[in-house]
Each structure stands twice: as C-alpha cells, then as structure tokens.
Amino acid sequence: MPRIIQDFMKRMSNHSVSITPQFVYRSWLVVLIPTCITLTAYGVAEFGPKEEIAISTRTEAIATPILPSNFPDSPIWHEDVIRAGDTLSAVLNRLNVDDAQANLFIRSDPIAKSLFELHPSRSLRAKTDRQGKLLELHYLNNKNQELSIKRQNTGFIASISEATTQQHTVVKSGTITSSFYASTDRLDIPDSITTQLIEIFSGQIDFHRGLKVGDRFSLVYESFTHDGIEIKTGKILAAEFSDQYKTLQAMWYTPPGSKEGAYYTPDGKSLKQSFLKNPVEFSRVSSGFQMRFHPVLKSWKQHKGIDFAASTGTKIMSTADGVISKITQDNSGYGKHIEINHAGKYSTLYAHMSAFSPGLKPGSKVKQGEVIGLVGATGRVTGPHLHYEFKINGQQVNPVALQLPTAQPIESRYLAHFQPIAAQTINQLAFLQRIEQARAE
Ligand SMILES: [Zn+2]
C-alpha cells in the first residue's frame, strides 16, 4: 500500500473513524485525478467565465521602410564559445558558416589547420554573408595568438599574430581564513601574482609562519585581456598586508625618465632585496596545492647550505644579478650545478639540477629572478630538491641569519614626483581595506 495511504489511514484511525483500505484507495484516486487535470490546465487557461473572442482579418496598406541598398548583402558577425567535446564543424555550424570552400581550406592550409585544436571556453568569431559564405574568422589559441582567416579575391589566407590586448587594473582584497594560498585561490588570484606578492614582501613577512587567520591583504595589479578574456597578468602596482598591530604597504614606482621601476614603501624606502630569499619558483603544477619550497632544516655545521624541497622540473631562479662562473656536472656530489658571481664578494651556488636553461655558459649575465634551470636529483642525493649555497669571499654563510645590504631609497630629486603618487596609492589601499573589513565583519 502506498505510504501516503498508510499515513492517511493512521490519521483517520486517530479520529476514531473506521474505514476500509479498499475505500480509502478509491477515494484517494478520485481526489488525485481532478487535481492533476487542474494543475495541467492552470498553465494555459485563466480561471473565470469563458470568453468568446471574435477574430477577423483586416488588410491595411503601410509604407515599406526604405532599407539601405546594401542591407540584404551586409555581412553578419557571429560569435560562439567552444564547449567541451565540441568539433570544429559543430562550432562552424553554430556560427552560421555554410561554406564548402572554407571547409576545404581549413582542412588543408597548414596554419588554418591548427583551428582543429579547440580549447573549451575560448571563443570563435566569424563574419559571413547572408548565405553563410565565410568572409573572416578569428580565434584566440591557447598560446594567446590570434589565428585569422580572411577571404580574398583569389581564395582564403590564414595568418597568426600576437593577440592585441587591452590593459586593465584589477583590485582584490581578502582575509586569511585558513592559509594564505587558500585565500588567494578563493579570490582567483593567478599564481604569477601570488608569487610576486610573496617576493615583494619576502623581506618583511615570513610566508610560512608569519601570517595568521584574520590578517588582511589587498592588491592592485595589471591584467591584459583580448576580447574580454584575461590572457596574461602584468605586475603588481600596489599591495598591502595588515594585522592588528601593523600595516605593510608596497607600491611600484618608476622615476621620470627611467626605464625600470621598483617597489617602494609609501614613504620612499626601497623594498628591493639585494638577494631573493627563495630561489625556487612557486609552481602549482609541480607542487600541488601546497607551497613546497620550505627550506629543510639541517645542522648548519654539517651542511653549509639550504635545501629547498621541490619536485623535479620546478624552476630555479638566480637570487641576484650576476655572472655565471661555473655551469657543470662534475663528481663533486653537487650533480648538475651552477655558480654565480654577484657584485663584490658574494656568490651563490645551485645544485642537483635536472636541466640548465638553454644558452647559459660561463660568463653569461643573469638577472635577479631569471630562470637558470630546473630542480632535479643529480649528484649525491636521496630525492629531488635544490641545494642552495650563499658565499661571502668563497665561504658558505647562512643567508637567513645575514643582514644583507638594502637598496637605496627614492632619490630626493624625485620626491616631489613620488609623493602625490604615493598619497593616491595609500588612499586606494585604504579604500580596499575598508571594503574588506566591512565584508569580513
Ligand atoms: Zn643540501
């Protein structure tokens, strides 16, 4: 017996009415059937008395609007987003392209053929005539190049060019609720920006142990889009971290007439590190969802270097500008390793690499942050990691314990130019913090 009837019977019995199951079942059907009909009818007819509507036809002469003479032939732009599992012919169909000649060209032309590598969520734009003849087709491939196909008098021509981009400024602010990386993920902050943020504040914040739940951060960064799709990010323009005791701020500033900018505090102190604290690039692919460049602590006396746990293939960066003095694989136990001389008495060594960046040789100049090779497990090791040494006059020292020289503050002749920009940046960051505080409370 259906549950509903059992319940009904129970309720009935509570009311001390004796009733047979047979009877209940029949009355339930009777109640149910008209209800269904009413529900169906509800959508199409209004309640109330039926009205008779008379329909008659009347013909009236109206002036035909004058269309521009080229209207019937003017081309049409169509745009459609590629879906997972899409085929090119399905997309072209949705774009209203009905053109055998174009199909043949796309199949045979070496450049146009790459159109078959469809990437879901990227869009395709086509210009056709009213009959579906293809006039133009544009597609942004996953290398952020624009593939264009254009109809010419003699046939089609395909070309690939760097996509034109529009620059935007993106602002984000968040509160740390579990880990810093969980917060940046939640805000959809790209890895390249997270890495920059860590680098900018690495001299002031210990990103492994120094952040707490409730700490807030804001940032302003450059984004480049093509047809509304973000295809790359640029640099951080301003950023801030704050806890209940202090606020740390950084802003990008390029002095007038200078080609290179740098990060400064709003009162003009340089945030540039003479040496990066971390020579291993944060990479989600190689490190999963956790940051894995935590230095492995060992007794300094036996070890004389810092080991950074990272998977094979993680990028290794030079920690300062310099010149390569050694790039080799010898029997020293270091495996594939690079040594770089920096201005003056400093040098750094990177060991157990799986590969060197192409083109590097003794005498090559490298910039701070430049990728010099990849993490590996060559030499005397038990697993992949980067062994990093910091030397002063050829002697290994512990860079963590070292007070390294800091870069110069803003030159006084630029202060008049710098100060209004700094004031504006502080206002912008304060505004973002107020929004975030309101959201968090
Ligand atoms: Zn080591």
| 223 Cα–ligand 1 center, Å | 38
| 334 Cα–ligand 1 center, Å | 9
pLDDT of residue 291: 38
pLDDT of residue 321: 93
Instruction: Judge whether 160 and 111 are in contact, CB under 8 Å.
Output: yes
The residues near 85 (Cβ < 8 Å, ≥ 6 apart) are none
Q: Which amino acid is at 100?
A: A
Provide Rg for the chain, Cα atoms. Answer: 34
- Say how many C-beta atoms besides its own lie within 10 A of residue 264's C-beta: 23
Residue 7 to residue 130: CA distance in whole angstroms: 64
| 138 Cα–ligand 1 center, Å | 51
Each of the 441 residues of the chain gets a pLDDT tens digit; together they read 455 445 544 444 444 333 333 333 333 333 333 333 333 333 333 334 444 555 666 666 666 555 555 556 688 888 888 888 889 989 999 999 999 999 999 999 999 988 888 888 788 899 999 889 999 999 988 788 889 999 998 899 999 998 888 999 999 999 988 878 888 889 989 888 988 898 888 778 877 667 888 899 999 999 998 877 788 889 999 999 988 888 999 999 999 998 889 999 999 999 888 888 778 876 443 333 333 344 555 565 667 888 887 889 989 999 999 999 999 998 888 999 999 999 889 999 999 999 999 999 999 999 998 999 999 999 988 889 899 999 999 999 887 777 777 778 999 999 999 999 999 999 989 888 888 888 877
The angle subtended at Cα 387 by Cα 381 and Cα 391, nearest 5°, is 135
| 307 Cα–ligand 1 center, Å | 5
Residue 388 to residue 401: CA distance in whole angstroms: 15
Give 217-250 as a DSSP string.
EEEEEEEEEETTEEEEEEEEEEEEEE-SS-EEEE
**How many Å from the N-terminal Cα to the C-terminal Cα in the chain?**
54
Domains of the chain with CATH codes:
3-33 (no CATH), 76-162 (3.10.450.350), 169-264 (3.10.450.350), 284-401 (2.70.70.10)
| 346 Cα–ligand 1 center, Å | 19
pLDDT of residue 414: 94
| 387 Cα–ligand 1 center, Å | 4
Q: Which amino acid is at 82?
A: I
Closest CA to 286 of 385, 182, 179: 385
Closest CA to 337 of 354, 320, 322: 354
Instruction: Judge whether 291 and 194 are in contact, CB under 8 Å.
Output: no
| 303 Cα–ligand 1 center, Å | 6
